[in-house]
Homo-oligomer: A and B are copies of this chain.
Amino acid sequence: MASREFRLRTGSDLVTDLTAEVTAFCHGRRDGLLNIFSPHATAGVALIETGSGTEVDLAATIERMWPVEARYAHSHGSRGHGRDHVVPAFVSPSIVIPVIEGRPALGTWQSVVIVDTNRDNPDRRVRLSFIAS
């Protein structure tokens, strides 16, 4: 298995696009499966279209489901930090995508993104792992 962890800065952005890093990591590889994994309890990985408003709609969804003003049992950190810990139960921090002829077999409108509601920790890591038969 080829595996590499890299660092990125999400800052205050909910959505950070990883597609370029994923594509570069797959270049030249055989057919296989790629795992994209975020080793954080407050971030998820998703495949969405970027640049057409879905980032805004995703932020609205999260605020509607987990209002920052609500009370959370997990209550240390900034206001609303408790929700940061619940979101990854629904937006999983791990996803697998097929790699065909050295390219991630994404659809035309799919980008790989990290979904990070946690503004207390702008420095993040993502591990890419590739396996072939």
Q: Which residues of A contact B (CB under 8 A)?
A: 1, 3, 30-33, 35, 37-42, 44, 46-49, 52-58, 60-61, 64-66, 72-76, 82-83, 85-86, 88-98, 100, 105-110, 115, 125, 127, 129, 131-133
Q: Is the CB of B97 within 8 A of A37?
A: yes
Taken together as a complex, chains A and B put the C-alpha atoms of A86 and B64 apart, in Å, by 13
Residues of B within 8 A of A105 (CB): 3, 37, 39, 127
Query: Nearest-CB distance from A15 to chain B (Å)?
Result: 9
Q: In the complex, are the beta carbons of A127 and B98 less than 8 A apart? A: yes
Contacts of A39 in B (CB 8 A): 105-108, 110
Cα of A98 to Cα of B39 in the assembled complex, Å: 10
Determine whether the beta carbon of B129 is less than 8 Å from that of A131: no
Q: Establish whether residues A92 and B3, one from each chain, have CB atoms under 8 Å apart when the complex forms.
A: no
